[in-house]
């Protein structure tokens, strides 16, 4: 199977607590780097590094306004993750439903076995 | 006959790298544990009907490996494999987890069982590794993660 690089990239992009915090801050709206630095109390180079990664996978978009660069969330890029969770849940549901049926069958057989034994005794 | 629990497994993302699934079964914990760990059981229920697993190897001891494989209706092979890290029969198993083809990284799967009045609840947490800073994630500050993730997901849902 060929995996989607975009899926993997989004997973990796959000698999970092700081980047998750930056996304969290950007949920509130478009912001310049300085405002994110202030909000999270981490260094500007750190914030810039994370914003670069988030931009690379498309989770964050950037536009220049005068001398400022404003960053905003592009959450449609989280869709691969959402789709993965939905698929995973569906796959697990089907698998666990089969386990459920199987457990019911095992218990039915056990009951039948013990009834048969009682019958023979 | 007890109520039908089909379709009741819930999956949620609980942190930046963890996916949690819960499901209850009308069966005692020992039986659920056996059904999840003995090849003769797993072979029957794990893969979608009608094809049983063509590979079902389970070496249930710490350091032992497991490998399941089956053919999807589309014809390609699906394969899970991993190594057992902790085993506490019948309540807990920790193992590495790798679904071939997705993703590159191994995850750690922790499966816990609890029983209450003949109903066994399985809680399964799949924790994906972060290449750079796994330590930071789980020792560090986790505040707001669930909330922010929920918000982001809601946002995505709205936009979908």
Let me know if residue B71 belongs to a domain.
Answer: yes
Q: Inform me whether the pLDDT recorded for B157 exceeds 70.
A: no
Q: What is the 3-state secondary structure (H, E, C) of A14-68?
A: HCCHHHHHHHHHHHCCCEEHHHHHHHHCCCHHHHHHHHHHHHHCCCEEEEEECCE
Q: What CATH number corresponds to the domain at position B91?
A: 3.30.530.20
pTM (2 decimals)?
0.63
Fold of the domain built from segment(s) A5-77: Arc Repressor Mutant, subunit A (1.10.10)
The pLDDT assigned to A31 comes to 92
Q: Nearest 5 degrees, angle CA A70-CA B136-CA B143? A: 65
CB contact under 8 A, B103 and A100: no
With beta carbons less than 8 A apart as the criterion, state whether A17 and B137 touch.
Answer: yes
pLDDT tier, B155 (very low <50, low <70, confident <90, very high otherwise): very low
Please list the alpha-helical segments (H only) found in B51-144. Answer: 134-139
Let me know if residue B6 belongs to a domain.
Answer: no
**Closest in A11, A75, A92 to B21, CB measured:** A92
Calculate mean pLDDT across residues B106-117. Answer: 92
Contacts 24+ apart (CB under 8 A), B145-148: B145/A17, B145/A20, B145/B15, B145/B16, B146/B14, B146/B15, B147/A24, B148/A20, B148/A21, B148/A23, B148/A24, B148/A27
Let me know if residue B136 belongs to a domain.
Answer: no
Residue B55 belongs to what domain range?
15-130+141-159
Considering chain B, what is the average pLDDT of its residues? 76
Number of domains in chain B: 1
Listed by number, the residues of chain B in 110-149 with a beta carbon closer than 8 Å to a beta carbon of chain A are 122, 128, 130-133, 136-137, 140-142, 144-145, 147-149
pLDDT tier, B46 (very low <50, low <70, confident <90, very high otherwise): confident
Let me know if residue B113 belongs to a domain.
Answer: yes
With beta carbons less than 8 A apart as the criterion, state whether B97 and B107 touch.
Answer: yes
Let me know if residue B3 belongs to a domain.
Answer: no
pLDDT tier, A91 (very low <50, low <70, confident <90, very high otherwise): confident
The complex scores an ipTM of: 0.71
Let me know if residue B4 belongs to a domain.
Answer: no
Let me know if residue B42 belongs to a domain.
Answer: yes
Q: Inform me whether the pLDDT recorded for B131 exceeds 70.
A: no
**Closest in B21, B76, B137 to A1, CB measured:** B76
Lowest-confidence segment of A5-9, A49-53, A102-106, B135-139 by average pLDDT: B135-139
The pLDDT assigned to A120 comes to 56
Calculate mean pLDDT across residues A48-63. Answer: 89
Let me know if residue B1 belongs to a domain.
Answer: no
pLDDT tier, B49 (very low <50, low <70, confident <90, very high otherwise): low
Chains A–B, number of C-beta pairs less than 8 Å apart: 135
Q: Inform me whether the pLDDT recorded for A101 exceeds 60.
A: yes
Radius of gyration (Cα) for chain A, nearest Å? 25
């Amino acid at each position: 199977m060929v995996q989607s690089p975009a899926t993997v990239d989004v997973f990796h992009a959000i698999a970092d607590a700081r980047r998750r915090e930056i996304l969290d801050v950007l949920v509130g709206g478009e912001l310049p780097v300085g405002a994110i630095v202030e909000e999270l109390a981490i260094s500007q180079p750190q914030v810039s590094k994370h914003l670069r990664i988030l931009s690379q996978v498309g989770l964050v978009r950037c536009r220049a306004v005068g001398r400022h660069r404003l960053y905003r969330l592009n959450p449609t890029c989280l869709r691969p993750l959402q789709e993965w969770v939905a698929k995973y849940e569906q796959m697990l549901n089907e698998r666990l439903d089969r386990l459920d049926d199987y457990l019911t069958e095992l218990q039915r057989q056990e009951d039948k076995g013990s009834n048969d034994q009682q019958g023979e005794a | 006959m007890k109520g039908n629990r089909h379709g009741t497994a819930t999956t949620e993302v609980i942190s930046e790298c963890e996916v949690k699934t819960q499901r209850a079964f009308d069966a005692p914990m020992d039986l659920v544990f056996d059904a999840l760990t003995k090849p003769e059981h797993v072979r029957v229920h794990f893969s979608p009907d009608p094809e049983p697993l063509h590979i079902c190897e389970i070496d249930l001891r710490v350091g032992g490996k497991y490998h399941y494989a089956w053919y999807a209706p589309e014809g390609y092979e699906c394969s899970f494999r991993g190594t057992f890290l902790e085993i506490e029969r019948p309540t807990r198993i920790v193992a590495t987890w790798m679904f071939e083809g997705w993703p590159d990284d191994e995850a750690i799967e922790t499966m816990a069982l609890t029983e209450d009045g003949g109903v066994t609840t399985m809680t399964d947490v799949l924790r994906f590794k972060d290449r750079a800073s796994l330590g930071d994630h789980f020792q560090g500050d986790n505040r707001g993660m669930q909330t922010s993730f929920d918000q982001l997901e809601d946002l995505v849902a709205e936009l979908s």
